[in-house]
Amino acid sequence: MANYVSEAVIRRLPGYYRHLRELEAEGVTQISSKDLGERMRQTPSQIRQDINCFGGFGRQGYGYSVSELKQEIGHVLGLDREHTMIIVGAGSIGSAVAHYPTFIREGFRTLALFDTDPARIGTSVNGVRVHSMEELPLFLEEHAVDIAVLAVPGDAAREVFDELARCGVTAVWNFAPVDLHAEERGITVVNVHLADSLQTLSYKIAHR
């Protein structure tokens, strides 16, 4: 990566990646900053500025090579390696993550699910076994797990998070409706907050 990449650019990178994947699937091989900007609802100069940030390689009059740019952004995003995941909570959110085709295609491989509900333990979700929470420490000792997906109810989230931290988990994708932060403990967390997104829609409905 050539230069400092700001938080705002990082937030936009997955959008670039998604659009470039779509373009590739449509058979588009070259794209100008103008056309990419129209597609992504951004100005051409914003596009050029963002891509310059990580040392992109557009050529005056030719635009960008879709496959090269996608590969470069995929590399910046860390998508050129496989990630192993466990999902804690085999309810509807945990199942949805285990089934999501984009994650599987992008190399996020779910090794196991964990749950406290005896009715779920021993079953499979999309071919992946649901284990009891008691099996979690040993599983994490025996497997290299890059990401733990936290898909438990809000009132259980902090306790399960602490358990994951004790077991040496270093990255958590949190769907529980609480803010988790643990940079000081060396744990990288991304909080999803589906309700926030629905409330943004509600705001837009109220103010249109």
Q: Which parts of this chain interact with its own copies (CB under 8 A)? A: 10-11, 13-15, 17-19, 22, 40-41, 76-79, 83, 91-93, 95-103, 106, 108, 146-147, 153-154, 170-171, 173, 177-179, 181, 188, 190, 192-208
Residue nearer to its own copies on the CB measure, 73 or 121: 73
Smallest separation (angstroms) from its own copies to the CB of 189: 8
Smallest separation (angstroms) from its own copies to the CB of 149: 9
Residue nearer to its own copies on the CB measure, 13 or 167: 13
Smallest separation (angstroms) from its own copies to the CB of 129: 17
Residue nearer to its own copies on the CB measure, 59 or 201: 201
What is the separation, in whole angstroms, between the first and last Cα of the chain? 41
Smallest separation (angstroms) from its own copies to the CB of 64: 19
Under 8 Å between Cβ of 67 and 56: no
* DSSP letter string, 116-177: S-TTTTT-EETTEEEEEGGGHHHHHHHS--SEEEE-S-HHHHHHHHHHHHHTT--EEEE-SS
Smallest separation (angstroms) from its own copies to the CB of 179: 7
